[in-house]
Homo-oligomer: A and B are copies of this chain.
Amino acid sequence: MIARKLCALGSHRVLEPAGALPQAARKLDATPAAHANEILCDVEALNIDSASFRQIVAANAGDAARVAAHVLALVEERGKHHNPVTGSGGMFVGRVREIGEELAAHCDLRVGDRIASLVSLTLTPLRIDAIERIDMATGRIWIRGTAILFETGLYATLPPDFPDDVSLAVLDVAGAPAQVRRLVAPGQTVAILGADGKSGMLACAQARERAGTSGRVVGFGPDATTPGARLLLDEGYVDAFVELDARDALAVLAEIPTVLPELADVTINCVNVAGTELSSILLTKDEGTVYFFSMSTSFTAAALGAEGVGKDVTMIVGNGYAKGHAETALATLRNRPPLMRYFMQRYGSES
Protein backbone atom coordinates (compact mmCIF):
# COMPACT_ATOMS: atom_id res chain seq x y z
CA MET A 1 0.00 0.00 0.00
CA ILE A 2 1.04 3.57 -0.61
CA ALA A 3 2.16 5.35 2.55
CA ARG A 4 -0.30 8.18 3.24
CA LYS A 5 -1.19 10.30 6.24
CA LEU A 6 -3.91 8.42 8.09
CA CYS A 7 -7.21 10.25 8.50
CA ALA A 8 -9.85 9.51 11.15
CA LEU A 9 -12.54 9.77 8.46
CA GLY A 10 -10.72 7.43 6.08
CA SER A 11 -9.63 9.87 3.38
CA HIS A 12 -6.34 7.95 3.10
CA ARG A 13 -8.37 5.20 1.36
CA VAL A 14 -9.68 7.50 -1.36
CA LEU A 15 -8.26 6.83 -4.83
CA GLU A 16 -10.45 9.27 -6.82
CA PRO A 17 -10.88 12.17 -6.68
CA ALA A 18 -7.89 13.21 -4.59
CA GLY A 19 -8.84 15.12 -1.46
CA ALA A 20 -12.35 13.69 -1.20
CA LEU A 21 -13.78 11.93 1.80
CA PRO A 22 -14.84 8.29 1.36
CA GLN A 23 -18.57 8.92 0.93
CA ALA A 24 -18.04 11.50 -1.81
CA ALA A 25 -15.30 9.47 -3.49
CA ARG A 26 -15.76 7.82 -6.83
CA LYS A 27 -13.35 5.05 -5.93
CA LEU A 28 -11.85 3.65 -2.73
CA ASP A 29 -8.82 1.47 -2.12
CA ALA A 30 -10.27 -1.71 -0.62
CA THR A 31 -6.95 -3.49 -0.05
CA PRO A 32 -7.59 -6.04 2.74
CA ALA A 33 -5.00 -4.98 5.32
CA ALA A 34 -5.65 -2.75 8.34
CA HIS A 35 -3.83 0.56 8.61
CA ALA A 36 -2.95 1.65 12.15
CA ASN A 37 -6.37 3.34 12.60
CA GLU A 38 -8.55 0.76 10.86
CA ILE A 39 -10.36 -2.48 11.51
CA LEU A 40 -10.27 -5.19 8.84
CA CYS A 41 -13.25 -7.53 8.76
CA ASP A 42 -14.08 -10.71 6.92
CA VAL A 43 -17.52 -9.97 5.52
CA GLU A 44 -20.23 -12.61 5.62
CA ALA A 45 -23.23 -10.72 4.32
CA LEU A 46 -24.31 -7.38 2.95
CA ASN A 47 -27.68 -5.83 3.68
CA ILE A 48 -28.34 -3.63 0.68
CA ASP A 49 -30.30 -0.45 1.31
CA SER A 50 -33.90 -0.94 0.23
CA ALA A 51 -33.96 1.92 -2.34
CA SER A 52 -30.69 0.72 -3.85
CA PHE A 53 -31.66 -2.94 -3.99
CA ARG A 54 -34.99 -2.13 -5.55
CA GLN A 55 -33.25 -0.12 -8.27
CA ILE A 56 -30.68 -2.84 -8.98
CA VAL A 57 -33.35 -5.54 -9.13
CA ALA A 58 -35.45 -3.46 -11.52
CA ALA A 59 -32.42 -2.70 -13.73
CA ASN A 60 -31.82 -6.44 -14.01
CA ALA A 61 -35.39 -7.54 -14.60
CA GLY A 62 -35.52 -9.36 -11.26
CA ASP A 63 -32.91 -11.92 -12.29
CA ALA A 64 -30.73 -12.99 -9.32
CA ALA A 65 -27.69 -13.95 -11.42
CA ARG A 66 -27.74 -10.59 -13.17
CA VAL A 67 -28.18 -8.80 -9.83
CA ALA A 68 -25.09 -10.64 -8.55
CA ALA A 69 -23.06 -9.64 -11.59
CA HIS A 70 -24.27 -6.05 -11.23
CA VAL A 71 -23.22 -5.85 -7.56
CA LEU A 72 -19.85 -7.51 -8.27
CA ALA A 73 -19.11 -5.07 -11.07
CA LEU A 74 -20.23 -2.07 -9.01
CA VAL A 75 -18.01 -2.98 -6.05
CA GLU A 76 -15.07 -3.87 -8.29
CA GLU A 77 -15.42 -0.49 -10.01
CA ARG A 78 -15.83 1.71 -6.92
CA GLY A 79 -14.19 -0.25 -4.10
CA LYS A 80 -17.47 0.16 -2.20
CA HIS A 81 -21.17 -0.63 -2.65
CA HIS A 82 -22.30 2.87 -3.57
CA ASN A 83 -25.22 2.80 -5.97
CA PRO A 84 -24.71 5.78 -8.30
CA VAL A 85 -28.42 5.97 -9.14
CA THR A 86 -29.87 6.08 -5.64
CA GLY A 87 -26.78 7.41 -3.85
CA SER A 88 -27.27 4.82 -1.13
CA GLY A 89 -25.56 1.63 0.02
CA GLY A 90 -26.40 -0.56 3.00
CA MET A 91 -24.31 -2.26 5.72
CA PHE A 92 -22.36 -5.45 6.35
CA VAL A 93 -22.03 -8.17 8.95
CA GLY A 94 -18.73 -9.92 9.48
CA ARG A 95 -15.95 -10.98 11.78
CA VAL A 96 -13.02 -8.87 12.96
CA ARG A 97 -9.81 -10.15 11.38
CA GLU A 98 -7.30 -7.42 12.23
CA ILE A 99 -7.30 -4.32 14.46
CA GLY A 100 -4.85 -1.51 13.67
CA GLU A 101 -2.23 -0.88 16.37
CA GLU A 102 -3.47 2.63 17.19
CA LEU A 103 -6.99 1.34 17.87
CA ALA A 104 -6.13 -1.86 19.70
CA ALA A 105 -5.64 -0.19 23.11
CA HIS A 106 -8.96 1.71 23.27
CA CYS A 107 -11.26 -0.53 21.26
CA ASP A 108 -13.84 -2.90 22.77
CA LEU A 109 -13.42 -5.35 19.93
CA ARG A 110 -11.23 -8.41 19.74
CA VAL A 111 -10.16 -10.40 16.74
CA GLY A 112 -12.90 -12.93 16.02
CA ASP A 113 -15.80 -10.79 17.27
CA ARG A 114 -18.85 -10.75 15.02
CA ILE A 115 -20.08 -7.26 14.27
CA ALA A 116 -22.48 -5.34 12.08
CA SER A 117 -21.32 -2.08 10.53
CA LEU A 118 -23.48 0.91 11.35
CA VAL A 119 -21.96 3.18 8.73
CA SER A 120 -23.14 3.14 5.17
CA LEU A 121 -21.54 0.90 2.57
CA THR A 122 -21.27 4.07 0.48
CA LEU A 123 -18.13 4.95 2.46
CA THR A 124 -16.88 1.48 3.45
CA PRO A 125 -13.94 0.03 1.49
CA LEU A 126 -15.30 -3.31 0.32
CA ARG A 127 -13.88 -6.18 -1.67
CA ILE A 128 -16.03 -9.07 -2.87
CA ASP A 129 -14.23 -12.32 -3.69
CA ALA A 130 -17.42 -14.22 -4.41
CA ILE A 131 -21.17 -13.83 -4.08
CA GLU A 132 -22.66 -16.96 -2.56
CA ARG A 133 -26.36 -16.22 -2.44
CA ILE A 134 -28.86 -13.39 -2.78
CA ASP A 135 -32.19 -13.20 -0.99
CA MET A 136 -34.24 -11.34 -3.58
CA ALA A 137 -37.00 -10.68 -1.03
CA THR A 138 -34.90 -8.90 1.59
CA GLY A 139 -31.86 -7.52 -0.26
CA ARG A 140 -29.43 -9.60 1.77
CA ILE A 141 -26.35 -10.88 -0.09
CA TRP A 142 -24.04 -13.52 1.35
CA ILE A 143 -20.48 -13.06 0.16
CA ARG A 144 -16.86 -13.93 0.74
CA GLY A 145 -14.90 -10.72 0.99
CA THR A 146 -13.44 -8.03 3.23
CA ALA A 147 -14.32 -4.57 4.47
CA ILE A 148 -12.54 -1.79 6.35
CA LEU A 149 -13.97 0.20 9.27
CA PHE A 150 -12.45 3.60 9.99
CA GLU A 151 -11.68 5.14 13.36
CA THR A 152 -14.96 7.09 13.27
CA GLY A 153 -16.92 4.17 11.83
CA LEU A 154 -19.79 2.91 13.92
CA TYR A 155 -20.46 -0.76 14.55
CA ALA A 156 -22.44 -2.98 16.89
CA THR A 157 -21.37 -6.35 18.21
CA LEU A 158 -24.08 -8.80 17.29
CA PRO A 159 -26.26 -9.52 20.32
CA PRO A 160 -26.28 -13.16 21.54
CA ASP A 161 -30.09 -13.32 21.88
CA PHE A 162 -30.80 -12.46 18.21
CA PRO A 163 -30.21 -14.47 15.07
CA ASP A 164 -27.60 -12.56 13.06
CA ASP A 165 -29.80 -11.82 10.14
CA VAL A 166 -32.50 -10.38 12.36
CA SER A 167 -29.88 -8.14 14.00
CA LEU A 168 -28.67 -7.08 10.59
CA ALA A 169 -32.19 -6.28 9.39
CA VAL A 170 -32.92 -4.23 12.49
CA LEU A 171 -29.56 -2.44 12.75
CA ASP A 172 -29.80 -1.40 9.11
CA VAL A 173 -32.66 0.93 10.03
CA ALA A 174 -31.58 1.61 13.59
CA GLY A 175 -31.87 5.38 13.17
CA ALA A 176 -35.65 5.28 12.68
CA PRO A 177 -36.92 4.04 16.06
CA ALA A 178 -34.41 6.20 17.93
CA GLN A 179 -35.43 9.34 16.06
CA VAL A 180 -39.14 8.57 16.53
CA ARG A 181 -38.60 8.36 20.30
CA ARG A 182 -37.18 11.88 20.23
CA LEU A 183 -39.75 13.41 17.93
CA VAL A 184 -43.06 12.11 19.26
CA ALA A 185 -44.61 13.45 22.47
CA PRO A 186 -47.54 12.06 24.51
CA GLY A 187 -50.97 12.78 23.04
CA GLN A 188 -49.73 13.56 19.54
CA THR A 189 -51.10 12.34 16.24
CA VAL A 190 -48.48 10.50 14.20
CA ALA A 191 -48.71 9.50 10.53
CA ILE A 192 -46.29 6.83 9.29
CA LEU A 193 -45.90 6.26 5.55
CA GLY A 194 -44.56 2.86 4.52
CA ALA A 195 -45.73 1.68 7.95
CA ASP A 196 -45.57 -2.05 7.21
CA GLY A 197 -41.97 -1.98 5.98
CA LYS A 198 -38.95 -2.72 8.14
CA SER A 199 -38.21 0.78 9.40
CA GLY A 200 -41.92 1.64 9.37
CA MET A 201 -42.84 -1.12 11.80
CA LEU A 202 -40.14 -0.16 14.28
CA ALA A 203 -41.24 3.47 13.91
CA CYS A 204 -44.90 2.55 14.57
CA ALA A 205 -44.01 0.60 17.70
CA GLN A 206 -42.00 3.48 19.14
CA ALA A 207 -44.56 6.08 18.06
CA ARG A 208 -47.28 4.08 19.85
CA GLU A 209 -45.26 3.95 23.07
CA ARG A 210 -44.38 7.64 22.96
CA ALA A 211 -47.77 9.01 21.83
CA GLY A 212 -49.52 6.82 24.40
CA THR A 213 -53.19 6.00 24.63
CA SER A 214 -54.16 9.66 24.36
CA GLY A 215 -52.30 9.93 21.05
CA ARG A 216 -53.16 8.50 17.68
CA VAL A 217 -50.88 6.55 15.33
CA VAL A 218 -52.01 6.03 11.74
CA GLY A 219 -50.08 3.79 9.36
CA PHE A 220 -50.18 4.23 5.59
CA GLY A 221 -49.21 1.75 2.90
CA PRO A 222 -50.30 0.51 -0.51
CA ASP A 223 -51.76 -2.74 0.89
CA ALA A 224 -53.56 -3.14 4.22
CA THR A 225 -53.58 -6.93 3.98
CA THR A 226 -49.83 -7.53 4.33
CA PRO A 227 -48.71 -9.55 7.39
CA GLY A 228 -46.94 -6.42 8.61
CA ALA A 229 -50.02 -4.23 8.33
CA ARG A 230 -52.14 -6.84 10.10
CA LEU A 231 -49.63 -7.19 12.92
CA LEU A 232 -49.54 -3.42 13.44
CA LEU A 233 -53.32 -3.37 13.83
CA ASP A 234 -53.57 -6.57 15.90
CA GLU A 235 -50.98 -5.39 18.40
CA GLY A 236 -52.32 -1.86 18.51
CA TYR A 237 -49.07 -0.31 17.28
CA VAL A 238 -51.34 1.71 14.99
CA ASP A 239 -54.91 2.84 15.57
CA ALA A 240 -55.64 2.58 11.86
CA PHE A 241 -53.91 1.38 8.73
CA VAL A 242 -54.90 3.34 5.63
CA GLU A 243 -54.46 1.80 2.20
CA LEU A 244 -53.06 4.54 -0.02
CA ASP A 245 -50.41 5.07 -2.68
CA ALA A 246 -48.39 7.90 -1.17
CA ARG A 247 -47.11 8.88 -4.62
CA ASP A 248 -50.63 10.00 -5.47
CA ALA A 249 -50.81 13.29 -3.60
CA LEU A 250 -54.23 14.14 -4.99
CA ALA A 251 -55.68 10.87 -3.71
CA VAL A 252 -54.09 11.52 -0.31
CA LEU A 253 -55.57 15.02 -0.30
CA ALA A 254 -59.02 13.60 -1.06
CA GLU A 255 -58.75 11.01 1.74
CA ILE A 256 -57.50 13.32 4.49
CA PRO A 257 -60.94 14.53 5.70
CA THR A 258 -61.89 10.89 6.29
CA VAL A 259 -58.71 9.32 7.63
CA LEU A 260 -56.77 12.11 9.32
CA PRO A 261 -58.96 15.21 9.61
CA GLU A 262 -56.86 16.61 12.47
CA LEU A 263 -53.63 16.14 10.47
CA ALA A 264 -50.43 14.80 12.03
CA ASP A 265 -48.18 16.54 14.52
CA VAL A 266 -45.40 14.28 13.29
CA THR A 267 -45.23 12.46 9.96
CA ILE A 268 -42.60 9.76 9.46
CA ASN A 269 -41.77 8.84 5.86
CA CYS A 270 -40.39 5.28 5.62
CA VAL A 271 -41.26 4.45 2.03
CA ASN A 272 -38.76 3.11 -0.50
CA VAL A 273 -40.12 4.72 -3.64
CA ALA A 274 -39.69 8.24 -4.99
CA GLY A 275 -42.34 10.93 -5.14
CA THR A 276 -43.99 10.82 -1.71
CA GLU A 277 -42.72 14.15 -0.35
CA LEU A 278 -45.87 16.13 -1.01
CA SER A 279 -48.19 13.51 0.51
CA SER A 280 -46.06 13.62 3.66
CA ILE A 281 -46.36 17.40 3.78
CA LEU A 282 -50.11 17.40 3.10
CA LEU A 283 -50.71 14.93 5.96
CA THR A 284 -48.94 17.22 8.43
CA LYS A 285 -50.30 20.08 10.53
CA ASP A 286 -49.07 23.60 10.04
CA GLU A 287 -46.05 23.89 12.39
CA GLY A 288 -45.80 20.11 12.52
CA THR A 289 -42.76 17.99 11.68
CA VAL A 290 -42.06 15.72 8.73
CA TYR A 291 -39.23 13.23 9.23
CA PHE A 292 -37.90 11.81 5.97
CA PHE A 293 -36.24 8.52 6.73
CA SER A 294 -36.61 7.32 3.13
CA MET A 295 -33.45 7.41 1.04
CA SER A 296 -35.69 8.03 -1.99
CA THR A 297 -36.46 11.53 -0.74
CA SER A 298 -35.72 14.41 -3.09
CA PHE A 299 -34.45 17.46 -1.25
CA THR A 300 -35.90 19.93 -3.75
CA ALA A 301 -39.26 18.16 -3.99
CA ALA A 302 -39.59 18.46 -0.21
CA ALA A 303 -38.37 22.05 0.02
CA LEU A 304 -40.38 23.38 -2.91
CA GLY A 305 -43.37 21.18 -2.17
CA ALA A 306 -43.91 22.69 1.27
CA GLU A 307 -43.50 26.19 -0.10
CA GLY A 308 -45.77 25.40 -3.03
CA VAL A 309 -48.69 24.49 -0.80
CA GLY A 310 -47.87 27.20 1.74
CA LYS A 311 -47.27 24.75 4.57
CA ASP A 312 -45.10 25.85 7.47
CA VAL A 313 -43.65 22.49 8.51
CA THR A 314 -40.23 21.48 9.81
CA MET A 315 -38.77 18.84 7.51
CA ILE A 316 -35.94 16.70 8.86
CA VAL A 317 -33.38 14.70 6.90
CA GLY A 318 -33.27 11.21 8.39
CA ASN A 319 -29.93 10.75 10.13
CA GLY A 320 -28.96 7.09 10.19
CA TYR A 321 -27.17 7.74 13.46
CA ALA A 322 -28.42 8.83 16.86
CA LYS A 323 -26.79 8.13 20.21
CA GLY A 324 -27.76 4.69 21.44
CA HIS A 325 -29.64 3.91 18.25
CA ALA A 326 -28.50 0.27 18.00
CA GLU A 327 -29.64 -0.46 21.56
CA THR A 328 -32.97 1.33 20.98
CA ALA A 329 -33.62 -0.57 17.77
CA LEU A 330 -32.86 -3.97 19.31
CA ALA A 331 -34.89 -3.14 22.42
CA THR A 332 -37.84 -2.25 20.19
CA LEU A 333 -38.01 -5.95 19.31
CA ARG A 334 -36.85 -7.38 22.63
CA ASN A 335 -39.69 -5.68 24.48
CA ARG A 336 -42.33 -6.68 21.93
CA PRO A 337 -42.50 -10.46 21.43
CA PRO A 338 -45.03 -10.28 18.56
CA LEU A 339 -42.78 -7.89 16.64
CA MET A 340 -39.76 -10.08 17.44
CA ARG A 341 -41.58 -13.14 16.09
CA TYR A 342 -42.49 -11.24 12.93
CA PHE A 343 -38.90 -10.18 12.32
CA MET A 344 -37.67 -13.73 13.09
CA GLN A 345 -40.07 -15.15 10.57
CA ARG A 346 -39.40 -12.59 7.88
CA TYR A 347 -35.69 -11.92 8.23
CA GLY A 348 -34.46 -14.87 10.31
CA SER A 349 -34.85 -17.65 7.79
CA GLU A 350 -31.13 -18.39 7.63
CA SER A 351 -30.58 -18.81 11.35
- Mark A residues whose CB is within 8 Å of B: 7, 9, 11, 19-24, 86-89, 118-120, 122-123, 152-154, 175, 248-251, 253, 275, 278, 292, 295, 297-323
Q: Which residues of the other chain, B, contact A308 by a CB distance below 8 angstroms?
A: 9, 21-23, 119-120, 122-123, 152-153
- Number of copies of this kind of chain in the complex: 2
Q: Which residues of the other chain, B, contact A311 by a CB distance below 8 angstroms?
A: 319, 321
Question: What 3 pairs across the A-B complex have the smallest Cβ distances?
Answer: A307-B320, A87-B300, A315-B317
The secondary structure that dominates the A interface is loop
Q: Are A301 and B250 in contact (CB under 8 A)?
A: no
Known: A317-B317, A319-B303, A320-B306. A250 touches B21 (CB 8 A): yes
Q: List 16 A-B contacts (CB under 8 A).
A: A9-B308, A21-B278, A22-B308, A23-B304, A24-B275, A122-B304, A154-B307, A154-B310, A175-B307, A295-B300, A303-B319, A306-B319, A306-B320, A312-B322, A314-B316, A316-B316
Known: A87-B300, A248-B19. A316 touches B317 (CB 8 A): yes
Q: How far is the CB of A182 from chain B (nearest CB, A)?
A: 9
Q: Are B152 and A310 in contact (CB under 8 A)?
A: yes
- Closest B residue, CB atoms, query A275: B24
Q: Which residues of the other chain, B, contact A250 by a CB distance below 8 angstroms?
A: 7, 9, 11, 19-21
Known: A24-B249, A24-B275, A253-B9. A312 touches B321 (CB 8 A): yes
Known: A320-B304, A320-B306. A278 touches B24 (CB 8 A): yes
Q: Which residues of the other chain, B, contact A310 by a CB distance below 8 angstroms?
A: 119, 152-154, 321
A19 to B312, CA, bound (A): 24
A153 to B118, CA, bound (A): 42
Q: Which residues of the other chain, B, contact A122 by a CB distance below 8 angstroms?
A: 300, 304, 308
Q: Are A300 and B21 in contact (CB under 8 A)?
A: no
- Closest B residue, CB atoms, query A254: B7
